[in-house]
Chain A
């Protein structure tokens, strides 16, 4: 038998990641998203090194200065440098929501796969409970948790992770349902593989992409949620700079000191847009169509 076969090299995980990223960057929207995201992450990591002023130095004599060569984005009502506070203001938000999303991904994914796999009554009951949770306004629940346990990151990360994992449960469950009926699962069962092996080897590789895309999407939602909490004064405690808090503090003075509001708004919205565009490009690069359910 003569077979004309193009030889292909096996791909390492690293080269797969490189391939996905280069596919993402091949569309303008994906490229823009990636650039924004990378920019924000770099900024969050490195900004303390070059922040021009002390973010908590209060100077009543410098109250509400307009942007100048010394204070690029002006100063706020306590005379603090808005530029410094803006470039530092994403750090907490990014860290909290990143780890929050990770937690959401883990428990949401695990529970979703479990429900999809066992099906039947247990699945029904769990999904009902999830639905019940969904019907509670999350912000109320968050306020309750925060007022009981405080606003430290140790509280915020798992709390946010918990609330934003619900959507991932649904996605993971649906994806598992699709896979579970396939003959390769039946085949693994008939061979005598255990449940753990079936989940790990057969199901996970097929639902991973959908779950990761959903996680990326949840990230931008969570960022918005976290900033809302800060805005209400339940996120980050002063004087730590945070966009939500900065917007909240400066919004009353918007008519004459717009710079103090615009800078954090720009920071927050550009990051959300960046994550969204990246998540979209990520989904497309993995071949998952998200066009039917755009976030925010």
Chain B
């Protein structure tokens, strides 16, 4: 008999709308968390997963209230507890690591002091014991030299290290249950893999039950024993991780898994239509009805209950789940990927571009002397053909966004020339650029919440480039806006809406529409899908692909997500610390031989499959700035050749597929080494 740590019974949480209606965010949630078990709760934004996690700590956000049900910890309902009683449980017995753990550390207190504080609050240790315990905790989360770390301030640590400190603090009270809200979102790929591996180890080592809340199925797959899938405030699927991810018997999960780009697939994933309904809009029937490919008439009227399927040990909320039982991966074959027509028509030529962030001293400015021998981005040479999709990948600090901004003219390049359409030199000063070149290059940003003016309607947003570049007005302008919106599959009624009235995917479509309204030749995409929900991401990628076919647009696509890049790009450039490591056709970049850094990156990708474990080949240390000389990757390279890497800049080598790698190791040796292990 398994010991239950927490039991949630018929929990409903909601709020009262302006009209006085009671609207549920969580509907009748029942589940149990067993001792030593790791449970992943997945869902997209608005699915109620964070509300559920907070409720597990006895916390209900301001404005929300418990409609019914209970959350039982040690035979008490923690949702009914007084604050005083809760203090003994929160942080001690049930701890939480919030999203953006780095920001939850107090910036002006030393790490050691903060952990000491947590220990003082949550344990009965004396001062001397606490000091020992601090080192122990820092050791446990694998931070190098605990004594030094303890004396540092949070901002002196990298994102991954801050996350580890947050884990150490959460472990201070030896909790029974640890809740993690998006524990690795925002971390670099390699760091992410390391942190998850550490958490896995801690779970096994201490027997702590863990609940992961995440939208990232890749991360969930690596750590969970059991997965709960939430949709629109309900549990739609609850079962062992392998069953959920390999044989998803709920149509939502099934579609979701198909819409995730994977390294093992080529081409774009299938997209899922629509988006999650707003709370309170579904009165009867299945909440997934609008988007479901298996829907039948009965689903519209009758609400499915959570049903236990004993042969799969899984609970599912769907009338038609049997249809999915035997359904294997046969139709996860990817959809069309339009191969670039090999027109050798160069549209952009970036040659020897260097960009420096270093502040110049006043006197140097006067003398017009630029004195930075080690710029942030150095020696970038890339030629881009018309109609091609080039991806720039790398972790934070790789300079990928910086390069994008310098193409757009937002950051002045220190050296080098960017030529547009064969011979037209683009000034590095935005103000000096010809209006026609400004029109030709458009940007799409990561987060549409930031890139769309919240006080403008969709009509105003899309009208801007049309007015600016084509001088349209009146009815002509309106017709054009409607036409552009149609291209991104948005109807005319969107014209009068404000960004806050749109879903994430719709907002990004508006941003895409604004870029395309300028009839650009090149579109610069800066992490355009990373702020979007998984099911929406694929739809936006597909849209970009279709528009490319229609208009022959060239994309420069910046992303940290290697699977997304693989799905959309024709050619990939890998960057480390502002230096190019590898560039080539995407099929061959994703195949060995690879530059050692590409190898590390590819190894760290988290696939939504519990049987594909990431390979952790290099440490996830973060380098502040590129090395003065030699190879940019020397500090972390798992295949370091020797002294030569520290002194000489490695030469370019090209393999038979046209894949260029910058490394001192001979390309064939690399291939042998990489294929042998």
Taking Cβ atoms with an 8 Å cutoff, the residues of A that contact B are: 1-5, 7-10, 182-184, 186-193, 201-202, 205-206
Contact = CB atoms under 8 A, between A and B. Distances in A.
18 contacts: A2-B290, A3-B274, A4-B290, A5-B491, A8-B496, A8-B501, A9-B496, A10-B457, A10-B495, A182-B451, A183-B445, A183-B447, A188-B464, A191-B439, A192-B430, A192-B439, A201-B456, A205-B456
Given A2-B273, A182-B451, A191-B518, 11 more contacts: A1-B489, A5-B491, A9-B496, A184-B450, A184-B452, A187-B451, A190-B443, A191-B465, A192-B430, A193-B464, A202-B453
B273 A1 contact: yes
Contacts of B455: 205-206
A186 B446 CA distance: 12
A207 to B, nearest CB: 10
Which 6 residue pairs of A and B lie closest in terms of their CB atoms, listed nearest first? A205-B455, A192-B438, A10-B496, A183-B451, A183-B450, A183-B445
Nearest to B408: A190
Given A5-B493, A10-B496, A186 B410 contact: yes
B455 to A, nearest CB: 4
Interface residues of B, number: 40
Nearest to A3: B274
Interface in B260-311: 273-274, 277, 281, 290
A76 B140 CA distance: 84
A205 B498 CA distance: 13
A205 B453 contact: yes
B277, B446, B455, B514 — which one has the most chain A CB atoms within 10 A of its CB? B455
B259 interface: no
B339 interface: no
Interface in B428-454: 430, 433, 435, 438-439, 441-443, 445-447, 450-454
Interface of B: 273-274, 277, 281, 290, 408-410, 430, 433, 435, 438-439, 441-443, 445-447, 450-457, 460, 464-465, 468, 489, 491, 493, 495-497, 501, 514, 518
A192 B464 CA distance: 11
Nearest to B448: A183
B497 A8 contact: yes
A195 to B, nearest CB: 10
A7 B493 CA distance: 7
B110 to A, nearest CB: 30
Contacts of A188: 464
A149 B373 CA distance: 61
A5 B450 CA distance: 24
Contacts of A192: 430, 433, 435, 438-439, 468
Nearest to B454: A206
A1 B453 contact: no
Contacts of A205: 453, 455-456
A3 B493 CA distance: 11
B410 A190 contact: yes
Contacts of B454: 206
Nearest to A195: B431
Nearest to B450: A183
A220 to B, nearest CB: 27
Contacts of B443: 186-187, 190
Contacts of A202: 453
A66 B455 CA distance: 58
A8 B477 CA distance: 22
A206 B456 CA distance: 10
Contacts of A182: 450-451
B464 A191 contact: yes
Nearest to A186: B410
A22 to B, nearest CB: 13
B274 A2 contact: yes
Contact of B468 (A8, A10, A184, A191): A191
Contacts of A187: 443, 445, 451, 514
B506 to A, nearest CB: 9
A5 B275 CA distance: 12
A190 B409 contact: yes
Contact of B442 (A8, A191, A193): A191
A7 B491 CA distance: 12
A193 B274 CA distance: 34
B556 to A, nearest CB: 13
Contacts of B290: 2, 4
Contact of B451 (A1, A7, A184): A184
Contacts of B447: 183
A191 B456 CA distance: 17
A137 to B, nearest CB: 35
Nearest to A203: B453
A285 B338 CA distance: 51
Nearest to A7: B493
Nearest to A182: B450
Contacts of A1: 273-274, 489
A206 B453 contact: yes
A202 B514 CA distance: 15
Contacts of A190: 408-410, 430, 438, 441-443
A212 to B, nearest CB: 14
A70 B441 CA distance: 80
Contacts of B433: 192
A78 B188 CA distance: 82
B430 A189 contact: yes
A182 B499 CA distance: 14
A5 B491 CA distance: 10
Contacts of A5: 491, 493
Contacts of B441: 190
B20 to A, nearest CB: 14
Contact of B410 (A7, A9, A189): A189
A206 B455 CA distance: 7
B290, B453, B460 — which one has the most chain A CB atoms within 10 A of its CB? B453
A189 B451 CA distance: 12
A123 B281 CA distance: 49
B538 to A, nearest CB: 14
Contacts of A183: 445-447, 450-451
Given A190-B410, A191-B518, A205-B455, A4 B450 contact: no
A236 B214 CA distance: 67
Contacts of A9: 496
A9 B496 CA distance: 8
Contacts of B514: 187
A154 B447 CA distance: 50
A191 B438 contact: yes
B499 to A, nearest CB: 9
Contacts of A193: 464, 468
A128 B438 CA distance: 37
A206 B457 CA distance: 13
Contacts of A7: 493
A1, A190, A202 — which one has the most chain B CB atoms within 10 A of its CB? A190
A5 B496 CA distance: 13
A291 to B, nearest CB: 15
A183 B441 CA distance: 16
A4 B501 CA distance: 13
Contacts of B430: 189-190, 192
A3 B281 CA distance: 12
Contacts of B495: 10
A190 B446 CA distance: 15
B554 to A, nearest CB: 16
Nearest to B282: A4
A239 B549 CA distance: 81
A184 B453 contact: yes
A77 to B, nearest CB: 56
A7 to B, nearest CB: 6
A1, A2, A192, A193 — which one has the most chain B CB atoms within 10 A of its CB? A192
A206 B499 CA distance: 14
Contacts of B438: 190-192
A2 B291 CA distance: 8
Nearest to B456: A205
A182, A187, A202, A206 — which one has the most chain B CB atoms within 10 A of its CB? A187
A5 B281 CA distance: 11
